[in-house]
Structures are given as C-alpha cells and as structure tokens.
Amino acid sequence: MVQSSGLVKVSAALIVGVAIAGAGWFVGAGIENMRSLDRYVTVKGLAERDVQADRAVWPITISATDDVLQTAQAKIEADTKTLMDFLGSHGISKDMTELQNLQVTDQLAQAYRSGPIESRYIINQTIQVRTDDIQAVVVASQDIGKLLQDGIVLGGQGYNPGPSYLFTGLNDIKPEMIAAATANAREAAQQFAADSGGQVGGIRRATQGFFQILAADGVPNINQLSQITKTVRVVTTMEYLIRD
C-alpha cells in the first residue's frame, strides 16, 4: 500500500515536471517569436519631382478717383476697357477674364477720417485673369507698366500682387512619387539590415506624408506661387521587419 502511494507520488511529480518543461518551452518559443517580430527598423523615403505650372491666376486692380461719383465711374469704365484691350493684345481673351470686387469708397462718409481730402470718391475695380496660357501671362505681366502711360492707376490702395502660377496635375503624379519614396525607404532599410547582419522582411507599418509644392530654387521665404517651376515633394515613413 505504501509502495503504491509512492508510485502515485512519483508519477504525479513526473507529470508536473513534464508540464512545467512543456510550458517553459512554449513560453521560450513565444518570447523568441516575439523578439523576432519586434526586430524592425524605421526609415523615411523621399521623392521629389520638378514640375511646371499649368495655370495662371492674375488679379489686376485699377483705381479711379474724383470728387464727382459719375466722373470717377466713367473713368473706371474707360480704364477697364483699356485694360481689356491690353490683355487682348497679349493673347488673353475676354473669356479668360472676370470682373470682380467693384468697390466704391466715399471718404467723407468715414467716421474716423480727419483733415482735408484730395478726392471724395475712390473706385476700385478688379479684373481677374484665369488661363492655362502661362506664357501669355508672363509676357503681359512684364509689359503691364505701359498702362501707366495711359493714366491708369494699378493696384487698389497701392497693392498689386502679380500673377500666381499653379500646378494642377498633382493627382496624376502621386502614384509614381509614392512608389519612388517607398523604394527609397526600402534602400535605406536594406543598408541598415546589411550593417546589422540581417535581411529586410515585410512592411510592419507605413505612413504617407503630405505632398508639398515648393519653390524650385529652394531659397527660404520664396512663395512658390510666384514661380513657374516648382518642386513636388513627399516623404513616407516605413517600418520594415528585420530577419536574421
């Protein structure tokens, strides 16, 4: 009876031992697998492409002043016709323009104004050019100073921003640029893996950055809208698994 009890105890001990050993193996294998999955590298991939603007938007504001409202109005109408003729002579047709923002200011009606005034009424008229003919806008904007010879006052309150040059084909180049940025990131990951004696595995996580349109010259504080040649840039952040 004692021997039987001893055998039971030995058998139970063996079972417990095997169970503990088995559990230890599974835990060890799990930790090893977890460590394997945790081996990854984070890299960034860059893609850039120079592009040309394909649309121009050019608001042109002219002003007329007079003590008599009807006289100022007649002047702004005549100057608008002169401006439209000027644009037409540079290949910018009427259907490429739009009259916008007619503003009339009565300086005597301003509550906080003090001192004498030269002209009671100020009329500002904006003509906005919108066209895909970039070269026509370039030539016309360089030649617009000739309107001063006709007595036309350019710029409401002395402000004339000049043309803005836009690139509208971003969606067409996005897939190729993302592919290029991803390839650039993988090259960096492969170099890292080679230096550490491993190999690049699959993608663990990927984040696409924002597309940026920048001035091609790369000079700080230059507004890309004023330049015809631009640089499109995208940066992707990739996490690659590293295998032994």
Q: What DSSP character marks residue 156? A: B
Decide if 132 contacts 52 (C-beta within 8 A): no
Token pair in block for residue 85: 């003729």
- List CB contacts of 157: < 8 A, sequence separation 6 or more: 124
pLDDT digits (tens, 9 = 90+) for 12-48: 444 444 444 444 433 333 333 434 456 888 999 999 9
Q: Lowest-pLDDT range, 36-40, 171-175, 197-201?
A: 36-40
Cα–Cα distance, 196 to 244 (Å, whole number)? 9
CB 237 within 8 A of CB 41: no
Give the closest residue to 101 by CA, choosing from 69, 65, 125, 123. 125
For residue 138, which amino acid is it? V
Bridge partner residues of 1 (DSSP): none
pLDDT (mean) for 130-158: 90
Place of tokens 């301003």: 110
Contact indicator for 178, 236 with CB cutoff of 8 Å: yes
Q: Among the listed ranges 79-88, 110-119, 138-147, 203-212, which one has the minimum average pLDDT value?
A: 110-119
φ and ψ at 73, to 5 degrees? -65, -40
Average pLDDT for residues 151-172, to the nearest whole number?
A: 86
Residue 159's pLDDT is what? 63
Tell me: the pLDDT tens digits for 160-169?
789 999 999 9
Amino acid type, 66: D
Residue 28 confidence (pLDDT):
36
